[in-house]
Amino acid sequence: MINFLKKVRKKLLIKNKITDYLFYSIGEIVLVVLGILIALAVNSWNEGRKDSIKKKELLKSLKVEFELNLKQLDTVLYYDIRVVNSSRKLLDIKKEDMSSLNLDTIKSIIQNTSWLWTFDPMNGALRSSISSGTVHLLNNDSLINKLFSWEDVVYDAKENEDRSLEMRLESKYIIEKHIRIRDYRGVENKELGKSKFNSDYHALLKDPLFEDYITERFTSMDEAVLELNLVRRQNTLILDLIQKELNSYK
C-alpha cells in the first residue's frame, strides 16, 4: 500500500500536476489522521471494556465481602443485645426479691451477661481496591465515600467493644468469688453438668462490686450496640449501592 502511494505521488510530480499533488497529499494526511483516530478509538474502547470487566469483578467481590460482614454483624448484635437486656434485668432485681428468684433463671441471666462477641469484618477486597486505585473505577461517588469511611466507622464501634471486653475480664475475680463458672456456663452447655463445689448466687447479687460491674457492663455494651447499629446502617447502604451498580450491567 505504501509503495502504491509513493508511485502515485511520483507520477503526479513527473507530470507536473502540482494542484493534483497537493490535493492528493492532503487526502493522504487525512487518511493517516483518520487511521490514528480510529486506532485511538479502538484502543480506548478496548481499555474501557477492560475497566468495565475489572469494575464488575470488584463490585462482585465487595458484595460478597459486605454480605459476610453483615451476617457476622447481626450475630454480634444478637449476643450484645442479650448482654444489655440481661444486665438490665440484674440491675432491676431488688434485694428483697432475691430469695424468691428461681435459681435457673438467675444462672441464665448471669450467663447472658458474659457473652464476648466482637465484630471483626473482612476488608481484603476493600483494602486491595483502595491500595491499587481500582476503587476509582466505580462511578458512584456516594459509594466511594462510604467505602473510604467504612473502617473509621468500624473503629469507632470497636473502642466500645474493647472497653466492654476489658471490663468483662477484670470482673472475673468478682464472679468467681461467689460462683463456679461451670455452674452458670452449664445453662447453655448442658454437657458441662454441675460443679462439685457450691455457688452462692444470692451473695453475688448482693455484692456491691458486682453491681458496679454490671452497671458498667450495661452502659458500655449499650453504647456498643448503638455504634454497631450505625455500622450496620453503613454496611446496608454500601450493599444497596453495590447492587445498583451491578444492576446497570443487566
In whole angstroms, what is the distance from residue 226 CA to residue 245 CA? 29
By the 8 A CB rule, do 89 and 109 touch?
A: yes
pLDDT at 78: 96
Cα 226–Cα 73–Cα 92 angle in degrees, nearest 5? 45
In whole angstroms, what is the distance from residue 72 CA to residue 149 CA? 19
Alpha carbon 36 to chain centroid, angstroms: 46
| Position with higher pLDDT, 23 vs 75 | 75
| Position with higher pLDDT, 97 vs 242 | 242
pLDDT of residue 243 exceeding 50: yes
pLDDT tens per residue across span 108-121: 888 888 888 889 99
Alpha carbon 239 to chain centroid, angstroms: 10
In Å, what is the CA distance from 182 to each residue of 84, 114, 116, 212? 22, 13, 17, 23
Specify the range with the lowest mean pLDDT, choosing from 11-20, 49-58, 82-91, 130-139.
11-20
For residue 20, name the pLDDT band (cuts at 50, 70, 90): low
pLDDT at 21: 45
For residue 88, name the pLDDT band (cuts at 50, 70, 90): very high
pLDDT at 25: 58
pLDDT of residue 38 exceeding 70: no
Say which residue the cell 428461681 belongs to: 102
Q: What is the mean pLDDT of residues 197-204?
A: 86
Average pLDDT for the chain: 81
pLDDT of residue 84 exceeding 90: yes
**In this structure, what DSSP letter does residue 249 have?**
T
Residue ranges of domains in the chain: 64-247
pLDDT tens per residue across span 143-185: 999 999 999 999 888 887 787 777 777 777 888 888 888 877 7
Is pTM beyond 0.85 here?
no
Taking each helix axis from N to C terminus, what angle separates 208-247 and 18-92, rounded to the nearest 10 degrees? 150
pLDDT of residue 14 exceeding 60: no
In whole angstroms, what is the distance from residue 100 CA to residue 64 CA? 50
In whole angstroms, what is the distance from residue 231 CA to residue 154 CA? 6
Q: How many Cα atoms sit within 13 Å of 68 on the Cβ side?
A: 11
pLDDT at 37: 67
* Mean pLDDT comparison of 31-35, 75-79, 101-105, highest-scoring range: 75-79
pLDDT of residue 30 exceeding 50: yes
